[in-house]
């Protein structure tokens, strides 16, 4: 009979499968750089390189009060940003929860709700009167859109569990403006942007050395500034070659899901290995593989664990941050979510597996960022990267693993100052740091 595999045999196998060697990372960086070039040449390429119609950075002299509305997957955040000039600002923020129902009822109703939240924020939280001057508002709407102007965005298709009818194919700005007018909210909608572009511009305002904005959240996307002369697919617009425009790089989350069921499954592998949406699922797939082989949880009912997407990435976070010798949080998580009892040996194995999967994700993320750094020649001058998203902000060690990825790709040039927790940029060419905007909120 076949010898039963031990957990340590399994771990060895998965280590070999999930470990990314520096050589492979460097060839991946090169391949990605080529894909970026293609995406700038034509529409409809693997990496779409989406023009954002955001022309250049803030110059630091901007002052005054601006509203921001961020429609994430779960929350609606409304912020008042007071720009004080010279990279200084203050944020006042309120969160509103979106119900599943709101994500699926008529689209105009969803924007009505946004308008009502804004109205209550302006009057209740800011104490402003309806007759006060209208505040300018930027709408962070991170769903795949076609833009031909900064204040116009046609939704291609919903993502992140949204499905509100009558929005796809429509101009989101116009729909939102209609809701603002309906409730007499004294606001002027000035722009629609994605979370990556927002992170890029906001981080650059604070640290002008920031050249890339990146999100490690439900999805994984980045944005950077390109000169129009390097975007052949925009030539027909006749803009000056040296005009700068922010480009949103990676694929959107929904493209991936679409792709998954398409005939080109290999093309979405990259993001699938990085994004928050998928890491828990990858972990779960490994476990089900072992369950099928009869090497895990024998005799227990594993039905709950065998449902697609049953294991959220935050559980991997929990496993890695459990401070107890017995891994008590892991015991709790498995019994609470899946009704499964675990042995200490299994829990240790899970923790190692979580580390393998998340480390690979961070290192692949580093490759994508390195491809932008390399394409733009930022290594010579050095640059900061502004990062945001729950995976980046909450997963223990994720940021450090990205740094290690830079070191492996660029050599020591990509190292960072441990003491300064990545916050210093002068002696290290490439530094990733938290965009940190929400931490500053009151
Ligand atoms: P969004 O991308 O929708 O704006 P977030 O940045 O909060 O929202 O990202 C949500 C993703 O982050 C989800 O896929 C979730 O699994 C993952 N996530 C949430 N909390 C954690 C955590 N503590 N550790 C790791 N991943 C997390």
Asked if residue 431 lies in contact with residue 378, where contact means CB atoms within 8 angstroms, the answer is no
Of 68, 154, 70, nearest to 107 by C-alpha is 154
| Residue 225 belongs to a domain | yes
Residues 322 and 437 grouped into a single domain? yes
Total domains present in the chain: 2
Q: Is residue 203 part of a domain?
A: no
Is the Cβ–Cβ distance between 94 and 80 less than 8 Å?
A: no
| Residue to probe by mutation, ligand 1, list 75, 95, 97, 218, most atoms within 8 Å of CB | 218
CATH of the domain at 344: 3.40.367.20
Name every residue whose Cβ is closer than 8 Å to that of residue 215 and which is 6 or more positions away in sequence.
142, 195, 196, 199, 221, 222, 387, 388, 389, 392
- Claim to verify: residue 44 and residue 78 sit in the same structural domain: no
Residue 202 is assigned to a structural domain of this protein: no
Looking at the structure, tell me whether residues 140 and 282 fall in a common domain. no
What's the ipTM? 0.96
Tell me the CB-side half-sphere exposure of residue 41, using CA atoms within 13 A.
Answer: 8
274 Cα to the center of ligand 1, angstroms? 12
In a domain, 200, yes or no: no
Residues 6+ apart with CB under 8 A from 161: 73, 100, 103
Single out the residue in 193, 228, 251 at which a domain terminates.
Answer: 193
Is 142 an active-site residue?
yes
- Whether 298 and 350 map to the same domain: the answer is yes
Assigned domain for 318 exists:
yes
Mutate to test the pocket of ligand 1, among 74, 390, 395 (most ligand atoms within 8 A of CB): 390
- 164 and 272, same structural domain? no
Q: 77 and 47 share a domain?
A: no
With a 6 Å cutoff on the Cβ, whether 198 touches ligand 1 is: no
157 is catalytic: yes
Same domain, 129 and 236: no
| Residues 385, 424 within the same domain | yes
Q: Is the CB of 277 under 6 A from ligand 1?
A: yes
Atom 21 (ligand 1) nearest CA: 314
Ligand 1 pocket check for 312: Cβ under 6 Å: yes
Identify whether 324 is part of a domain: yes
Mutate to test the pocket of ligand 1, among 314, 316, 392 (most ligand atoms within 8 A of CB): 314
Residues 349 and 426 occupy one common structural domain: yes
Q: Which of 195, 255, 259, 408 is catalytic?
A: 195
Is residue 315 assigned to a domain?
A: yes
**CATH classification at residue 172:** 3.30.420.40
Active site residue 401: no
Q: Which atom of ligand 1 is nearest to the CA of 74?
A: 3
**What's the domain range around 86?**
57-193
Residue 199 lies in a domain: no
From first to last of its 442 residues, the chain has per-residue pLDDT tens of 567 889 999 999 999 988 999 999 999 899 889 989 999 999 877 788 999 999 999 998 899 999 999 997 778 999 999 999 888 899 999 999 889 899 999 999 999 999 999 999 999 999 998 788 999 999 999 888 889 999 999 998 887 778 899 999 999 999 999 999 999 999 999 999 999 999 999 999 988 999 999 999 887 889 999 999 999 999 999 999 999 999 998 764 444 544 454 444 444 455 556 777 788 988 998 999 999 999 999 889 999 999 988 999 999 999 999 999 999 999 999 999 999 999 999 999 999 999 999 999 999 999 999 999 999 998 887 889 999 988 999 999 999 999 999 989 988 655 555 554 444 333 457 788 887 654 333 2
Q: Are residues 362 and 380 in the same domain?
A: yes
């Amino acid at each position: 009979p076949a010898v039963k595999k031990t957990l340590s045999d399994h771990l060895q196998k998965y280590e070999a499968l999930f470990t990314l060697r520096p050589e492979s990372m460097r060839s991946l960086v090169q391949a990605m750089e080529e894909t970026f070039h293609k995406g700038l040449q034509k529409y409809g390429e693997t990496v779409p390189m989406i023009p954002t119609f955001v022309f250049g950075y803030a110059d630091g002299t901007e002052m005054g009060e601006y509203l921001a509305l961020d429609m994430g997957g779960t929350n609606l955040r409304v912020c008042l940003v007071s720009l004080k000039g010279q990279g200084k600002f203050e944020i006042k923020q309120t969160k509103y929860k979106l119900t599943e129902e709101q994500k699926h009822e008529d689209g105009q109703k969803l924007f009505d709700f946004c308008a009502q939240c804004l109205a209550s924020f302006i009057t209740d939280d800011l104490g402003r009167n309806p007759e006060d001057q209208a505040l300018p508002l930027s709408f962070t709407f991170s769903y795949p859109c076609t833009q031909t102007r900064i204040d116009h965005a046609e939704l291609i298709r919903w993502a992140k569990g949204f499905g509100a009818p009558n929005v796809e194919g429509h101009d989101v700005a116009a729909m939102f403006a209609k809701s603002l007018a309906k409730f007499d909210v004294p606001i002027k909608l000035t722009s629609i942007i994605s979370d990556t572009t927002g992170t890029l511009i906001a981080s650059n305002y604070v640290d002008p050395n920031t050249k890339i904005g990146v999100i490690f959240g439900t999805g994984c996307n980045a944005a950077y500034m390109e000169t129009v002369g390097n975007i052949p697919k925009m030539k027909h617009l006749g803009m000056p070659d040296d005009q700068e425009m922010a480009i949103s790089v990676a694929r959107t989350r929904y493209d991936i899901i679409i792709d998954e069921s398409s005939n080109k499954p290999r093309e979405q592998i990259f993001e699938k290995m990085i994004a928050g949406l998928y890491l828990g699922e990858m972990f779960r797939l490994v476990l089900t593989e072992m369950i099928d082989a009869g090497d895990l949880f024998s005799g227990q009912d594993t039905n709950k664990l065998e449902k697609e997407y049953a294991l959220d990435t935050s559980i991997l976070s929990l496993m890695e941050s459990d401070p107890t010798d017995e891994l008590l949080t892991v015991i709790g998580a498995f019994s609470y979510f899946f009704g499964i009892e675990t042995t200490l040996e299994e829990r240790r194995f899970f923790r190692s597996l979580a580390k393998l999967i998340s480390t690979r994700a961070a290192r692949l993320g580093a490759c994508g960022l390195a491809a932008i750094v390399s394409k733009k020649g930022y290594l010579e001058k050095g640059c900061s990267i502004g990062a945001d998203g729950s995976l980046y902000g909450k997963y223990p060690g994720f940021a450090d693993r990205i740094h290690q990825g830079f070191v492996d790709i660029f050599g020591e040039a990509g190292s960072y100052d441990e003491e300064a927790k990545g916050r210093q940029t002068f002696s290290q060419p490439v530094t990733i740091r938290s965009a940190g905007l929400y931490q500053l909120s009151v």
